Structure 1
Amino acid sequence: MNITINEELRSFIDPLTHNEYAALERSLLAEGCRDALVLWGEVLIDGHNRYDICSKHNIEFRTVQNTNFASLDDVMLWVIDNHLARRSVSDYQRGVLALRKKDIVAARVAQRAAEPDAPAEPDAAKVPESPPWNTREDVAKAARVSSNTISQIERIQKAATPELVEAVRAGTISINAAANVASLPEAVQKAAVAGGKKELQQMARQVREQKAGSRPPKEKEPEADVEGELRAQVAALREKVDALTAENNQLRQQLGI
């Protein structure tokens, strides 16, 4: 049986920790591979870790075909949705998956808009299309993270070195800290990753402090002239008193008092 590994599909899966991989390996060696691997044609779409271990130890496994997909994009969306629904997937990986889904959906919408309208078949059932994700808030909601976290993940994807990305995936550094370190030159990023967790945290803190120091200071509001205001109020009160006194004197004259 020829099984093909699509590396992009494989990248959607958070790597198992050493302990998780060892536990899965012990289970497969003791009980065999009970769950079938899922294929689309020859492409493996679910069960990558089990396939690796079974191949390594010559453990027999079953496969099932999922024939519901018309294209590799359909497969990717299915894999993404499956992983977004899993609690074990990290915030970073969920953000990456949601952003990838956004790209796929946006590309489909653009392609559909560029194609001439095909005549609809009379008996064809209309399948409702999922709406395109037009905002960062849509992506954040699907990934169950904040919009700010999605923005940080985008910065990591654009500027982080592979070493820094791997550190985020492994949980060595937080998304927030990695987004700060990603603003540094590649050589500095690599050196920080090589220095370990403390070095990464220190580098991220330095970047935050530099950003805070580069912000223009807030302009101080002009201090209120308290004494001048009081003098003005006193003068206004005196004018009122003088006016009332004059009015009172006028009334007294009219009454002959």
Structure 2
Amino acid sequence: MLKIDDLIIDKEFEELLPVLTPEEFVRLEQSILKDGMLDPIKVWEEPGTGRNIIIDGHNRYRILKKNNISLNYWENYKFMYADELPTRDDVKRWMLEQQLGRRNLSEAEKYEMVQKFKSVFEQKAKKNQSLGGKGSTNLPKVDTRKEMAKATGVSEGTYRKMDVVMKSDNEDLKQKLREKKVSVDAAYKEVKSTDQKPITVKQQIDRLDKRINDIDKTIESLQVEKEEIIQRRTSIFYALDIKCPVKYRWDKKGYSNTFPCFWKCQIYIENEEYENIFGEYSVYYNEFPSDCDMEKIPETYRNDFRMIWKKAHDEIKALQDEVDKKSMENAKKQDEILKNAMKLIPTDEDKVILKQFYRVLANTYHPDNKKTGNAEMMKHLNDLKAVWGI
């Protein structure tokens, strides 16, 4: 039987749901303690990982945890399997339907709810467009705005006006719209009239901060989707009937040939023109992979993975040893050059002789000597004087 500690809160899914106020949470807690769970927690068994992810009932879950209440099958939780919800996007669509169906929401509140699920509508549009390009001509073109307006329960025109209002900086007006104290048309007109006025520096910064926050959320959502796709692709690769060869290659990560020890080793399997990457590893310092690294590799490939790691380690070790050897040889040469240069520096005894040598030559080449004077030679002689330090 499923234990409460087996349940997992997925950050992306949780952020799609409205947050209860402290008062609402207390009322829900008192209701559960008095009457029990009237609505079971919905749990999605994620394909590929088998994780038991909460998709409805996050607050109920926290209340059970807080009060040390264990789960009772079909009373406190209900499973949603892969045949019902195959992908994360399917889960999101289900969550949206649940939220819109059970709550007495204003149009503005429905709008905000639908906005959280915008990526689902966009993904559906991209998917249909992609399939249409592959010959599925019977698929209707998905208009994201139209679909989101339909989910909100308003016309496209009303949705467009609501979009302008809810993306404005007028928080008071947005709250009035949520509470149905102002119509969409009236709120839209007020925003448009305000748009004609110059905005303050603070409003500009707030507007940009909001946009940055929206971009961050989009990036996070796309990253989660990317990880899911990589996981599904990996599962397909591992399910192949034939065993694929394990290979490796180097990613220098911006490091030159002087530092092979910092290169990353990318270990992967290959089947025809396709490949699946196990990961990028620093193999220089470890002759064999750690237990942690091995746990992430399918049993079928573990021996080959271990041998490839050893081969890569030996190669990078030999390369670094060769670089270190050449560096030592160059250091010795530089040291020899320095020692020889030190020998050229005159001692105090040498300087006595050099001074005499300088005087003789200076008398010969000084420009005042009308017979042998030579200004250019005198300049070279003074340069030597400076080098000798006399």
The CA deviation at 1:17 is 4.1
Residue 187 of structure 1 corresponds to which residue in structure 2?
Answer: 202
Residue 159 of structure 2 corresponds to which residue in structure 1?
Answer: 150
What is the CA–CA distance in structure 1 between the aligned matches of 2:70 and 2:94, rounded to whole Å? 26
Residue 20 of structure 2 aligns to a residue in which SS? coil
- Amino acid corresponding to residue 65 of structure 1 in structure 2: F
> Larger Cα Rg: Structure 1 or Structure 2?
2
Aligned residues: 181
Residue 79 of structure 2 corresponds to which residue in structure 1?
Answer: 65
Higher relative contact order (CA 8 A, sep 6+): 1
Which of 4, 10, 20 aligns to 2:8? It is 4
Note if contact 2:176-2:182 (Cα within 8 Å) is conserved in structure 1: yes
Map of 1:38-187 to 2, 5 A cutoff? Answer: 38-41=42-45, 42-61=52-71, 62-67=76-81, 68-99=84-115, 101=117, 103-114=119-130, 117=134, 133-134=142-143, 136-155=145-164, 180=191, 187=202
What is the CA–CA distance in structure 2 between the aligned matches of 1:175 and 1:185, rounded to whole Å? 27
The CA deviation at 1:31 is 2.7
Note if contact 1:38-1:64 (Cα within 8 Å) is conserved in structure 2: yes
What is the CA–CA distance in structure 2 between the aligned matches of 1:186 and 1:91, rounded to whole Å? 31
1:21 aligns to 2:25 (yes or no): yes
The CA deviation at 1:172 is 11
The CA deviation at 1:15 is 2.9
Distance 1:135 1:36, change over 3 A: closer
Note if contact 2:7-2:53 (Cα within 8 Å) is conserved in structure 1: yes
What is the CA–CA distance in structure 2 between the aligned matches of 1:7 and 1:165, rounded to whole Å? 30
What is the CA–CA distance in structure 2 between the aligned matches of 1:132 and 1:102, rounded to whole Å? 17
Residue 44 of structure 1 aligns to a residue in which SS? strand
Residue 253 of structure 1 corresponds to which residue in structure 2?
Answer: none
Q: Percent of aligned pairs with the same residue?
A: 25
Residue 8 of structure 2 aligns to a residue in which SS? coil
The CA deviation at 1:103 is 4.0
Distance 1:35 1:146, change over 3 A: same
What is the CA–CA distance in structure 1 between the aligned matches of 2:63 and 2:174, rounded to whole Å? 22
The CA deviation at 1:49 is 1.7
Distance 1:175 1:136, change over 3 A: farther
- Amino acid corresponding to residue 187 of structure 1 in structure 2: K
Residue 14 of structure 1 aligns to a residue in which SS? coil
Provide Cα deviations, 1:8-66, integer angstroms capped at 9, x if missing partner.
Answer: 32233333344432221111122333432111122110111211222222223332210
Distance 1:146 1:7, change over 3 A: farther
The CA deviation at 1:71 is 0.8
What is the CA–CA distance in structure 2 between the aligned matches of 1:58 and 1:169, rounded to whole Å? 40
Note if contact 2:149-2:156 (Cα within 8 Å) is conserved in structure 1: yes
Distance 1:135 1:33, change over 3 A: closer
Provide Cα deviations, 1:193-244, integer angstroms capped at 9, x if missing partner.
Answer: xxxxxxxxxxxxxxxxxxxxxxxxxxxxxxxxxxxxxxxxxxxxxxxxxxxx
What is the CA–CA distance in structure 1 between the aligned matches of 2:181 and 2:201, rounded to whole Å? 16
Residue 187 of structure 1 aligns to a residue in which SS? helix
Distance 1:27 1:133, change over 3 A: same
Q: Which has the higher strand share?
A: 2
Residue 70 of structure 2 aligns to a residue in which SS? coil
Unaligned runs of 5+ in 2: 46-51, 207-390
Report the TM-score, using the length of structure 2 for normalisation.
0.37
Note if contact 2:149-2:159 (Cα within 8 Å) is conserved in structure 1: yes
What is the CA–CA distance in structure 2 between the aligned matches of 1:81 and 1:172, rounded to whole Å? 22
- Amino acid corresponding to residue 56 of structure 2 in structure 1: D
Distance 1:24 1:107, change over 3 A: same
Note if contact 1:37-1:51 (Cα within 8 Å) is conserved in structure 2: yes
Distance 1:140 1:152, change over 3 A: same
Unaligned runs of 5+ in 1: 121-127, 192-257
Superposed CA RMSD in Å reads 4.4
- Amino acid corresponding to residue 122 of structure 2 in structure 1: A
What is the CA–CA distance in structure 2 between the aligned matches of 1:166 and 1:3, rounded to whole Å? 36
